[in-house]
Amino acid sequence: MGKSKEEFLSRKKEIDKYFEFLSKLEHDTPVLHYSLTGVNNVHPIDDELLKILKANGFLLIYNLVEAITRITLIEYLNSISKSNISFKKLHEDVQRLWVSNKRFADKNLKNKSEEVIFQELYNEIVSNTIVSFTIELKDDRGEVINEFVKLSGNVDADKIRKLATKYGFDSKVGPAEKAGADLVTIKTNRNYLAHGIKTFTECGGKVSVIDMCNYKKNAILYLEKIISNIEKHIEEGKFKAPKKK
């Protein structure tokens, strides 16, 4: 899980910088000092600008949540592909995932009958073919036309729990479960902004800087635990079928 953890730490660093700056604006009269053609100037950060900056925090936090969820799931699938394992030796959750992925990867699927699709899957299974997962489909020019891991602005704790069921890893995060509740608020406000349903001043006007810092902290706490769960899942080989007693 090296890549996803590196990406997480890199993106976390970006967000920490933004919120460190934002936290300094929670004062009575924050001002911006700058120099223009050798002349020192002072520009007050008014209430409306502060609301916009707070609302922008929802976009940054959500971007972290969705990006890391996607990257971690992709790395999980790649880890299984690299394990040189056949279908019969996979856990049944991952078997279902592989069947779904085979259908995704077949560009001619629409032109095939269910009987043909079933026969092709059956042939691969009985021949003990080493499984692999197709992450994305590309056209003749090499442009990505479809992705297997598609999240589309809908990631919160409930979505991650459903993904955990689908992919077969543990979604329990212990004390971080309460932190995960904030992901709904983050997702909702992100979607308000992304789809133009609410303005930045509307979204930012309902929260304090302290609220936003807590949202950021809780999202990071939740993601850290999910990443840890998936790492443990891979290290312990839980994507494999349990050994028969």
pLDDT at 111: 84
Quote the mean pLDDT of the chain: 91
- CA 156, 161, 167, 171 torsion: positive or negative? positive
The residue that leads in pLDDT, 199 or 40, is 199
φ/ψ (deg, to 5) at 212 = -65, -40
Question: Is the pLDDT confidence value at 231 over 90?
Answer: yes
Question: Is the pLDDT confidence value at 234 over 90?
Answer: yes
Mean pLDDT of the 213-219 span:
96
pLDDT at 201: 98
φ/ψ (deg, to 5) at 174 = 60, -130
3-class SS at 51? Answer: helix
Reported as a single tens digit per residue, the pLDDT across 66-75 is: 999 999 999 9
pTM of the model: 0.89
Question: Is the pLDDT confidence value at 24 over 80?
Answer: yes
pLDDT at 1: 58
**How many alpha carbons lie under 13 Å from residue 77 in its C-beta half-sphere?**
24
3: closest CA among 67, 98, 65?
67
Mean pLDDT of the 134-162 span:
91
